Every structure is written in structure tokens, then in C-alpha cells.
Amino acid sequence: MQFQQLQYFVAVAETRHFTRAADLVHVAQPSLSQQIKALERELGADLFLRARGNITLTDAGEALLPLARRILADADTARYEVQELVQLRRGRVRLGATPSLCTGLLPDVLRAFHDRYPGIRLLIEEGGSHDLVRLLARGALDLALVVLPLPTPSPALTTVELLREDLVLVSSPEAPRPGEGRRTVRIADLEGERLVMFRHGYDLRELTVAACRAEGFEPDFAVEGGEMDAVLGFARAGLGVAVVPRMVAARSGRGLRVTPLAPPGLHRTIALAHRSDVAPPRAARELQRMLLER
């Protein structure tokens, strides 16, 4: 099995077309087809079902695809690792983070990292913890900031707890104070309040809804489906109250009232994750160190 054959296989699997795949990898289509056939002979199984105008993966092809992607991603990481040995003057870090962490935690750390290593490209992927875990497992990310516990625990990932963060309520200063004006608000006080809620798959949505249900009520949504900036904007406009991380509330600027949650309150645990079977590249390890020492 040759590395080049895996490149060709993934290209055909992703384009579902031999000619377009050949253009993608800059090789003549007959050469690509010959290499795919050689790979199938090596594996003893057909990888594609070839019908006129329709290329689909066989069961063997479906089994090979995630492994081939991981092998190619690991080779790409190795290439960058060698490049980064030149005093971290060039290279990249692929970092995944939830949108709230991109807003609250990352700006200061990434600015310090960029000031120290201006030649390192920072590639940021925003998403929920579930999506970030999947991207890590595929080799598409070097590091990810995720919320614990993971939606699907994976022995293939190593996680290091980074911080435990309080959640707070934000609302418009012109709207009535939540919880009948008390300085701190209990989760039970949110019954009857109109909430501005994140989209499905957002860690903060799941945590807030679960806390309300634990108090015996279903939350009432004034508007739902937004990302972090949209949720803050809707709360600022007086559409309802929102539960957000304290760091995000602190960075959100004027136009929002911040109300703490009464003990025991709501918290979330943030962890830094990477694959257990592959050490992160050198630049990623340096960013990891800065995050842990922040």
C-alpha cells in the first residue's frame, strides 16, 4: 500500500468522480485509475462501485476512508513538525474551541502567542464539543478546547482540565431585573423568565436546559438558535435574559446587566484535548503550554 494511492483513494471518495479526483491531485486520470486498481488488488477488495455516472463506496471503501484520512493527516502533521524545528519561525496550529471560548478565553492568549511567534499561522475552528472531538479523532485539529464531560468519552483523546468557569445571567439594563430584582438569581427564579437561547448542539444550551429541568420546569424561550454574538445582541436588545460564561459577560462591553447566579449556581469545566496516539506538533505544544500557564 502506497501513500500516493491513499491520496488518490480519498480524492475519489470525496469527489465521487475519477476525472475530477485526478484534477484535484494533479495526475492523469488513467494513472489515477491504475493506482486505485492496484490498491484494490493489494487489499483484496473493491473500494468503489462503478456505475455509469455514479461512483459509490463499497463497505470496504467505507471502512478504509476514515483510516486513510487519518494517515494523510498524520503525514501532514509530520511535515509541519519538521518545518517547525527551525525555532518556531514558521508552521501552523489548528485549534478548535467552542464559540464562547473564542469570545472569552482565547483573544488574550492568542495575541500573546502571535506576538511571540509571528510566523506561526493560527487556524481556528469554532464548534460544539461533539464536533471538535470528531475533528480531533480525524486528525483535522491539533488541539481543542472542550467542555467536560465530553458528550462521547473517547479513550483516543487526552484531556487536561484548564479552568472551572461560573455562568451568569445577562440582560438589558432597561428591562426589569430578573428574579424580581434580587442581587443574585436562583435557577428556580428563571421559571417564567423569557430566555434567549443558543442553537441546538451548543454546550451552554444543554447545560441551561438540564438545570431548569432539574428544578422542575421547562425554560421559556423568547428567541433561540443563535451563536454567542447573536445571543448577547438579543439580550442587549431586551428580548430576554441569557445564561453565558462570566468571561464572556466581562468582555461584552456596555449595554448588558450582569446578574450572578445564587449558590450553588452553574459552572462548566473547560479542558484542553488532543489525540493520545500522536503528540501535538511543536507549535501546538507551545500554545498548549501558554494556555495551561495563563
- Same domain flag for 119 and 197: no
| Per-residue confidence (pLDDT) for residue 86, from 0 to 100 | 58
Assigned C-alpha cell, 62 = 467505507
pLDDT tens profile 259-293 = 999 999 999 999 999 999 888 888 899 999 999 98
Average pLDDT, the chain: 90
**Which of 80, 103, 118 corresponds to the end of one domain?**
80
End-to-end CA distance of the chain: 45
Average the pLDDT over 179-196 and give the result. 90
Say how many domains are in the chain: 3
Torsion of CA 244, 249, 254, 260, to 10 degrees: 80
Residue 192, phi-psi category: left (phi > 0), alpha (psi -120 to 50), beta (remainder): left
- Same domain flag for 259 and 286: no
Entry field: residues in the chain: 294
- CA dihedral for 180, 185, 189, 191, sign (positive or negative): positive
* CATH number of 55's domain: 1.10.10.10
| Per-residue confidence (pLDDT) for residue 12, from 0 to 100 | 94
pLDDT confidence band for 87 (50 / 70 / 90): low
* CATH number of 190's domain: 3.40.190.10
Q: Which domain holds residue 183?
A: 165-267
- Same domain flag for 155 and 202: no
The answer to whether the CB of 228 falls within 8 A of the CB of 103 is: yes
Strands 267-275 and 143-148, bridge-based pairing: antiparallel
What is the rounded distance in angstroms from the CA atom of residue 43 to the CA atom of residue 24? 24
- Same domain flag for 64 and 97: no
pLDDT confidence band for 91 (50 / 70 / 90): confident
- Same domain flag for 27 and 97: no
pLDDT confidence band for 29 (50 / 70 / 90): very high
What is the rounded distance in angstroms from the CA atom of residue 147 to the CA atom of residue 260? 21
pLDDT tens profile 219-248 = 999 999 888 889 999 999 999 999 999 988
- Same domain flag for 178 and 208: yes
What is the rounded distance in angstroms from the CA atom of residue 5 to the CA atom of residue 73? 15
- Same domain flag for 35 and 64: yes
- Same domain flag for 159 and 279: yes
- Same domain flag for 139 and 58: no
**Which of 27, 53, 80 corresponds to the end of one domain?**
80
| Per-residue confidence (pLDDT) for residue 278, from 0 to 100 | 84
- Same domain flag for 95 and 50: no
Q: Is the pLDDT of residue 149 over 90?
A: no
What is the rounded distance in angstroms from the CA atom of residue 228 to the CA atom of residue 67? 34
Average the pLDDT over 202-206 and give the result. 87
Residue percentage of the chain with pLDDT more than 90? 64
- Same domain flag for 281 and 148: yes
- Same domain flag for 125 and 240: no
